[in-house]
């Protein structure tokens, strides 16, 4: 007999039916192993064959949202991500060029105070968003996670637009990050053609992702560990330099906050510009939710990962950027006009060089290169899983739903890697223009994604209330709750409005169509997807009514009474702990 791995999800009709004869049961999928044990190349070759998915018992009378719930809940994706993988994906997920390089141009635009204010405000929005995502992803660890929640809790047309918006974001990020990594090498080797290093990094990312989700998890664990160690080391070094302990000596304190123009060199408009830029720096924070469907035990690992976001925002962004504002003048010439791929414009590198420390700038550039590769690696994970979820939802060509016996969305990975070949445009004289428009295509994607995540939680809680149920059946609830979801959604809307202002009346420039679309192209693209799906599906409803929302399909815990009992017992146990342990449990 062939060995089978079976996972069974409860469906909405199972939960609500008192007569099992009338219930709709979803048959489990099987990732079958051959009766004869394969070894070597035969085993490797067999792993690329399509995973067998048994009949899911789809009823033609089901709504589109219900069908999407069933199909994404029964995806044969691998579930081999461990707790440590999710922890590191959460901790290091958004530590990238937005912090190491992008903060430099933000410092020159908004000044030290504007930089800090913008990142703190956006940080509160990210914290609320990840908490909202955590509640949904622990309850519904389905393929595609938040890219399919929109279709279930808001509207299938909005879900279609948001899913393609998210897929396109990551599709264009890979070639951008590969070029950024190759340009980082120019710090040491300015003469070699960038295409040579692009090839090396491209092959590395291909190799990592063909090891499946375990390969992605291990790579991100290593990449994130390097970034975290570097940031902690910089914090210690920064304090030493500010207090005059560097080789060149000299107490700095807060003198760069008192130079001409500081702390707000461009006034309110400068702060607004940084406010928008800070939002881009946190892109990728939501990946821990997307990985929930491929983790062995999301109920245990994901809540801890979501709680880590507070520490990441506080330690890695707020403290680091406070130190940067004290170590580097906002009008440093190397910061002016800095691009997101120019590692020499990193305020971290500038601060170390100004301190007279030799050797360490090279180490920091290695960390920047690792951060860039980490984002490139994540782009393959994000886009391939989104495309697989779209295919399962009948919102993309079926071929993208090809998942092999190792649990890899093979066609989605290949599609991403093909788009990644755009990185060779680095050798073209039109490179800047091409990549500028690619970046514009995905510019506001994360803002739409985060706003929709918070709206999904609001709709989910509304559906629970209308259907006579409550949060006692949830194993993890968002710490800021509905208030946090409303705050997160509101801030995202504000960022889009501010981006429109900056797009029409750019800082230090005059209005132009090119500038507008470079900053605001994502919005018309999203609207085209949304309206196009409405016209195609002829579904003219703006949203799914709360009483019709499916709040059961995709749950791994089938016995809701047992879940309620376990949750009550866990709360009672935590309440019995000493105060310091309750505080630790709340934040960690």
Domain boundaries, the chain: 78-541
Residue 19 class from Cβ within 10 Å (0-12 exposed, 13-18 middle, 19+ buried)? exposed
Q: Where are the alpha helices (DSSP H) in 393-521?
A: 410-420, 431-441, 445-466, 481-504, 513-520
Contact 461, 482 (CB under 8 A): yes
Dist CA 546 CA 549 (whole Å): 5
Q: Report residues of the chain scoring pLDDT below 70.
A: 1-48, 51-80, 90-94, 143-144, 293, 336-344, 427, 431-432, 557-558
pLDDT of the residue at 53: 57
Q: Which CATH number fits domain 78-541: 3.10.129.10, 1.20.1740.10, 3.40.50.300, 3.40.50.360?
A: 1.20.1740.10
- DSSP class of 264: -
pLDDT of the residue at 329: 92
Tokens encoding 149: 């929640």
pLDDT of the residue at 16: 46
pLDDT of the residue at 444: 85
Dist CA 184 CA 339 (whole Å): 12
Dist CA 549 CA 107 (whole Å): 45
Dist CA 161 CA 146 (whole Å): 12
pLDDT of the residue at 60: 63
pLDDT of the residue at 27: 37
Dist CA 405 CA 30 (whole Å): 9
Q: Where are the alpha helices (DSSP H) in 355-444?
A: 360-392, 410-420, 431-441
Q: Which of 73, 134, 149, 77 is nearest to 554 (CA)?
A: 73
Q: Which of 86, 87, 92 is nearest to 374 (CA)?
A: 92
Q: By percentage, how much of the chain surpasses pLDDT 90?
A: 23
List, as own/partner pairs, every contact residues 528-535 make where C-beta atoms lie below 8 angstroms and the sequence separation is at least 24, other chains included.
529/160, 529/161, 529/164, 529/165, 530/157, 530/158, 530/160, 530/161, 533/156, 533/157, 533/160, 533/161, 533/395, 534/157
């Amino acid at each position: 007999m062939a060995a089978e791995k079976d996972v069974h999800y409860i469906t909405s009709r199972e939960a609500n039916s008192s007569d099992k004869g009338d219930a709709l049961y979803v048959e489990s999928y099987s990732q079958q192993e051959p009766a004869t044990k394969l070894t070597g190349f035969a085993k490797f070759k067999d792993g690329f064959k399509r995973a067998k998915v048994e009949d899911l018992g789809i009823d033609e009378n089901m709504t589109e949202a219900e069908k999407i719930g069933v199909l994404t809940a029964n995806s044969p994706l691998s579930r081999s991500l461990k707790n440590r993988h999710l922890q590191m994906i959460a901790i290091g997920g958004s530590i990238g060029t937005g912090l190491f390089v992008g903060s430099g141009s933000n410092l020159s635009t908004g000044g030290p105070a504007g930089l800090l204010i913008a990142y703190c405000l956006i940080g509160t929005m990210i914290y609320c968003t990840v908490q909202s995502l955590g509640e949904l992803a622990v309850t519904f660890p389905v393929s595609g996670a938040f890219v399919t929640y929109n279709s279930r809790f808001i509207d299938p047309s909005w879900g279609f637009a948001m899913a393609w918006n998210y897929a396109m974001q990551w599709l264009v990020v890979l070639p951008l990050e590969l070029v950024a990594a190759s340009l980082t090498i120019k710090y040491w080797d300015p003469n070699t053609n960038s295409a040579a290093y692009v090839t090396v990094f491209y092959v590395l990312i291909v190799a990592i992702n063909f090891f499946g989700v375990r390969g992605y998890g291990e790579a991100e664990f290593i990449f994130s560990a390097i970034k975290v160690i570097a940031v902690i080391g910089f914090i210690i070094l920064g304090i030493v330099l500010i207090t005059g302990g560097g080789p060149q000596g000299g107490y700095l304190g807060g003198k760069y906050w008192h130079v001409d123009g500081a702390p707000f060199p461009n006034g309110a408009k400068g702060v607004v510009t940084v406010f928008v830029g800070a939002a881009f720096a946190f892109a990728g924070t939501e990946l821990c939710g997307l990985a929930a469907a491929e983790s062995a035990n999301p109920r245990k690992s994901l809540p801890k990962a979501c709680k880590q976001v507070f520490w990441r925002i506080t330690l890695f962004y707020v403290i680091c950027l406070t130190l940067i504002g004290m170590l580097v003048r906002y009008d440093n010439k190397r910061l002016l006009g800095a691009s997101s791929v120019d590692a020499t414009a990193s305020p971290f590198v500038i601060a170390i060089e100004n301190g007279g420390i030799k050797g360490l700038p090279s180490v920091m550039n290695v960390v920047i290169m690792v951060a860039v590769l980490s984002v490139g690696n994540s782009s393959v994970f994000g886009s391939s899983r989104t495309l697989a979820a779209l295919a399962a939802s009948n919102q993309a060509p079926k071929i993208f739903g090809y998942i092999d016996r190792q649990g890899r969305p093979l066609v989605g990975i290949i599609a991403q890697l093909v788009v990644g070949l755009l990185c060779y445009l680095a050798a073209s004289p039109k490179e800047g223009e091409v990549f500028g428009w690619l970046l514009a295509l995905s510019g506001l994607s994360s803002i739409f994604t985060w706003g929709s995540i918070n709206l999904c939680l609001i709709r989910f809680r509304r559906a629970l209330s209308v259907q006579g149920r409550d949060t006692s059946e949830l194993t993890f609830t968002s710490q800021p709750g509905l208030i946090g979801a409303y705050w997160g959604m509101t801030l995202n809307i504000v960022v889009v409005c501010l981006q429109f202002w900056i797009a029409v009346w750019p800082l230090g420039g005059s209005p132009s169509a090119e500038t507008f679309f470079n900053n605001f192209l994502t919005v018309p693209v999203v609207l085209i997807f949304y309206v196009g799906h409405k016209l195609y599906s002829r579904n003219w409803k703006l949203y799914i009514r709360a009483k019709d929302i499916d709040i059961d399909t995709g749950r791994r815990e089938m016995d809701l009474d047992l879940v309620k009992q376990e949750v009550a017992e866990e709360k009672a146990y935590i309440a019995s702990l000493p105060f310091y342990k309750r505080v630790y449990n709340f934040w960690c």
